[in-house]
């Protein structure tokens, strides 16, 4: 008699929202009824490929080892039942006998009743600025008193991760101000992406600069490194010193600006999703060039990224008859970026670290008086994948603790 549930084909913990009550099948399709009345259909071939046994996944890595094309025939179903532990058991005519499926995992992957097949981890929230607006801010002074991946660390990181996934930005406060401590901060989320500016880069005025960021002049709203095929998904700016006059930080939700443009001037919006602008960073020792629209949409027509940096645009190279309409759309967008209602403004305090989505947020800076004090930020880049992975790990740990408590 089997009294324990099988493993799932991954490392996650899957709560059982409803019990399996009945099962029926044809040779290629299986239907189950749940205790809350839902019915779910699963294709036999889908079930065969997503089994958790050792013929399907490597038990050490949980990565698939099954090649469906090597089966002696189509994996037709010859039997199905619910066992004593509440697992679904399915018998296939091909290479194996009964395979068991965890009901929590099966329910979580019910594609027959799914809505959006690619739902966001956290719903995206557009935001606007104004004189009273500020970024979500969290006290992170205890972050380094916790062990990585422990519950106390998750209590600090979870709301920060949610803010970045939802609004594209969060400000952590009370962090160390020692040089290079940014590396340890970033690695609480995931690996850092090195660039030609280094693993970490210093944002302060310096002689012989290779970027406008390394001067005291004002910077217009922009995303960083649009000159790369895959410009970084995340940026962290960590304040070590700031005693200058001026230099206020400015942040805009590029998605909110783009949606406002879509509503106000659909033609300009469509133009900026279509025209491939040249982005170029031709420094003394590097030469990065990439062509891309300023606004990119996903397969559903939803905003995927914005790529805006006037000071890194190279000469426009498009068909002759499209040049004026492209510039008209560009100038419409540029005027919107100057509207105060889109921007939040704040001053970096030593120990602040601002994490933001570099493919969504536009950041800018007021000019500052370099002789009035010292302004020193350290920055680094990461990928969106890292914050999504870390958030999933937090959710996984919470589900596991919940299951342990319930047992």
Beta-bridge partners for 289: 280
What pLDDT digit, counting tens, does each position of 254-295 carry? Answer: 999 999 999 999 999 999 999 999 999 988 888 999 999 999
Q: Which residues contact 79 (CB under 8 A, 6 or more apart)?
A: 25, 89, 90, 91, 98
CATH number at residue 214: 3.60.130.10
Both tokens of 183, joined, read 């590396």
Other Cβ atoms less than 10 A from the Cβ of 144: the count is: 14
Q: What is the mean pLDDT of the chain?
A: 93
What DSSP string runs through 387-403? HHHHHHHHHHHHHHHHH
pLDDT at 3 over 90: no
Domain assignment present for residue 240? The answer is yes
Both tokens of 254, joined, read 């590029």
For residue 217, the model assigns a pLDDT of 82
Q: What backbone phi and psi angles, to 5 degrees, belong to 327?
A: -70, -35
Q: What is the mean pLDDT of residues 45-54?
A: 96
For residue 382, the model assigns a pLDDT of 97
* DSSP-H helix ranges across 168-292: 182-187, 254-264, 266-274
CATH number at residue 88: 3.30.2020.30
Domain assignment present for residue 193? The answer is yes
Percent of the chain with pLDDT over 90: 78
Indicate if the alpha-carbon torsion angle 374, 137, 119, 58 is positive or negative. Answer: positive
Domain assignment present for residue 124? The answer is no
Rounded-to-integer distance, Cα 324 and Cα 180, Å: 46
Domain edge (last residue) among 57, 81, 114: 114
Domain assignment present for residue 70? The answer is yes
Domain assignment present for residue 186? The answer is yes
Rounded-to-integer distance, Cα 251 and Cα 248, Å: 10
Rounded-to-integer distance, Cα 403 and Cα 219, Å: 50
What pLDDT digit, counting tens, does each position of 331-382 carry? Answer: 999 999 999 999 999 999 999 999 999 999 999 998 887 677 788 999 999 9
* Residue 110 belongs to domain spanning: 20-114
What pLDDT digit, counting tens, does each position of 97-146 carry? Answer: 789 999 999 999 999 998 777 888 999 999 999 888 899 999 999 999 99
Domain assignment present for residue 402? The answer is no
For residue 216, the model assigns a pLDDT of 75
């Amino acid at each position: 008699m089997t009294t324990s549930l099988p493993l799932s084909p991954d490392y996650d913990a899957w709560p059982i929202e409803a019990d399996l009550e009945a099962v029926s099948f044809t040779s290629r399709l299986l239907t189950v009824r749940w205790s809350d009345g839902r019915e779910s259909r699963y294709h036999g071939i889908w079930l065969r490929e997503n089994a958790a046994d050792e013929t399907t996944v490597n038990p050490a890595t949980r990565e698939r080892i099954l090649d469906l094309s090597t089966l002696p025939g189509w994996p037709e179903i010859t039997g199905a039942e619910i066992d004593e532990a509440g697992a679904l058991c399915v018998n296939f005519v091909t290479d194996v006998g009964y395979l068991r499926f965890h009901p929590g995992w099966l329910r979580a992957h019910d594609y027959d009743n799914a809505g959006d097949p690619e739902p966001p981890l956290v719903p995206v929230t557009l935001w606007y600025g104004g004189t009273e607006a500020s970024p979500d801010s969290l006290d992170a002074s205890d972050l380094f008193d916790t062990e990585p991946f422990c519950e106390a660390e998750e209590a600090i990181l979870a709301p920060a991760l949610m803010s970045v996934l939802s609004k594209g930005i969060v400000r952590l406060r009370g962090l160390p101000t020692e040089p290079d401590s940014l590396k340890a901060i970033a690695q609480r989320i995931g690996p850092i992406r090195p660039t030609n500016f280094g693993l970490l880069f210093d944002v302060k005025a310096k002689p012989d600069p290779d970027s406008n960021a390394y001067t005291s002049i004002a910077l217009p709203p922009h995303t960083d490194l649009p000159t790369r095929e895959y410009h970084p998904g995340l940026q962290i700016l960590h304040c070590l010193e700031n005693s200058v006059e001026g230099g206020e930080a400015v942040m805009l939700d590029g998605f909110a600006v783009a949606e406002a443009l879509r509503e106000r001037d659909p033609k300009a919006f469509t133009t900026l999703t279509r025209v491939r602008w040249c982005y170029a960073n031709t420094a003394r020792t590097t030469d990065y060039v990439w062509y891309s629209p300023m606004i990119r949409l996903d397969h559903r027509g939803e905003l995927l990224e914005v790529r805006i940096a006037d000071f890194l645009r190279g000469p426009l190279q498009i068909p002759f008859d499209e040049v004026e309409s492209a510039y008209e759309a560009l100038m419409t967008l540029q005027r919107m970026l100057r509207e105060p209602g889109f921007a939040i403004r704040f001053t970096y305090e030593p120990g602040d670290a601002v994490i933001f989505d570099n493919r969504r947020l536009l950041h800018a800076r007021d000019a500052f008086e370099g002789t009035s004090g010292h302004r020193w930020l350290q920055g680094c880049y990461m990928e969106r994948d890292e914050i999504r992975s870390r958030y999933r790990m937090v959710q996984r740990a919470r589900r596991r603790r919940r299951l342990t408590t319930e047992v």
